[in-house]
A and B are shown apart, each in its own frame.
Chain A
Amino acid sequence: EAGVVQSPRYKIIEKKQPVAFWCNPISGHNTLYWYLQNLGQGPELLIRYENEEAVDDSQLPKDRFSAERLKGVDSTLKIQPAELGDSAVYLCASSLVAAPYNEQFFGPGTRLTVL
């Protein structure tokens, strides 16, 4: 079974530029998550999707971040414009159903560097 796929793996941009990250979850997983992980910290949830619906985006900085999951499968996270403080690893995860006992599986992440 293929795992969560993310691209690109690495991205270097200058501040004020836009950037987009793509995620394809494990087949059949209807719940998709985007996390941000800073160095030395645990992942922090940005947004959670159940199928096409964003059910928890309370931690997403909506002035510059946006996300979509149009067909309930793959998802894109965008930052526009990027700031120096956005440098971090962006992780995508998926789970089979949105329930407390269901495990989340992470993709390899996209390491963003903003210069």
Chain B
Amino acid sequence: QKEVEQNSGPLSVPEGAIASLNCTYSDRGSQSFFWYRQYSGKSPELIMFIYSNGDKEDGRFTAQLNKASQYVSLLIRDSQPSDSATYLCAVNGGAGGGNKLTFGTGTQLKVEL
């Protein structure tokens, strides 16, 4: 079982729709959770982080965390073509301790006109 799992996609949504990206993790001791956006040929860019159960909203983005289910998600409202990218889920803390991020393989999002 991979430590951080994501559906590789591609996930296609029409412009203006809500995109829902999901991530599960295996280490129950994980403490914080990050979503990075990565455009093709570019480096990962931090867009959200969350460490408490529930929802955290920032503009069009909402991160949701459920530690009991070991599940974290990212919702993108009013999706735009510029949101087309790969979204990487990353998990920090846990058994390894320290500030080690474990990444999933990413979900490719395509927002279609």
Contact = CB atoms under 8 A, between A and B. Distances in A.
Nearest to A43: B103
Interface residues of B, number: 26
B93 A100 contact: yes
Given A100-B51, A101-B51, A107-B43, A42 B88 contact: yes
B75 interface: no
Contact of B98 (A41, A56, A107): A56
Given A100-B32, A103-B46, A105-B46, A45 B88 contact: no
Contact of B32 (A33, A55, A101, A106): A101
B44 A103 contact: no
Interface of A: 31, 33, 40-45, 48, 55-56, 89, 91, 95, 97-109
Interface of B: 4, 8, 31-32, 34, 36, 42-46, 49, 51, 88, 90, 92-93, 96, 98-101, 103-106
